[in-house]
Amino acid sequence: MMGDGIQVKIGDELPPFSRKGTLEHWNRFAAVNYEFAPHHWDVDVAKAEGFDAPFSMAPLQLAFFHAMLRDWMKENGRIVSVSAKLRGPFFKDQTLTAGGHVTAITPGEEETMVNLELTQTDETGRSIAVGTAQIALHQQGTNTGVA
């Protein structure tokens, strides 16, 4: 096992996960997800649909939440659920920062369930997405601080 163990308590903040919105990145995701809707890269199409600029794919934004959770828990657990509600577009050339904090901890016999609230904002603080997640931490790698 390569897990280093993890200490968790309610209110803990996850290390943020940030990416700039670039076509170089989005093209790569479009290629692996077969996702070529023109509003992700064509400014005229985006404007015709009511947006100021091309914007990211929702599944990529959801992947950012997953990446942040994986970076945080490493080998100490597994993702049980992740949800994201999109509040506003993640426009090209903006920088998205995903964050999260622990809201509940429920110890079990084999796994400790940890609930989190998640956010995505741009560099101005505008909300791009909100979400929730639940992860299951393996008992041997967990110190929840729960008596």
Partner 1 sequence: MAESWVTEDMQDIVGAVMRESISHPVSVSDIRKWAIAVYYPETPPRNFWDEAFAARTKYRGIVAPEEFNPFAWSTQQPSLTDPKVSQTAFSERELGVRPPDFKAILLTEIRERYGPTRIRPGDVIRSTVRISEYFEREGRMGHMLYTTLANEWHNQAGEWVRTTESVFVRY
Cβ atoms of 136 and 111 within 8 Å: the answer is yes
φ, ψ at 109 (rounded to 5°): -70, -45
The residue range among 8-16, 25-33, 94-102, 118-126 that interacts with partner 1, by the rule CB under 8 A, is: 25-33
Q: Which of 60, 96, 114, 116 binds partner 1 (CB under 8 A)?
A: 60
> Total residues at the site for partner 1 (CB under 8 A)?
37
62 contributes a contact to partner 1 by CB under 8 A: yes
By DSSP bridging, strand 111-121 and strand 17-20 are: unpaired
43 contributes a contact to partner 1 by CB under 8 A: no
Helix or strand (DSSP H, E) at 20: strand 17-20
Nearest Cα neighbor of 115 from 96, 129, 135, 131 is 135
Write out the residues near partner 1 by the rule CB under 8 A. Answer: 1-3, 24-25, 28-29, 31-35, 37, 39, 49-50, 57-60, 62-64, 66-67, 70-71, 75, 78-86
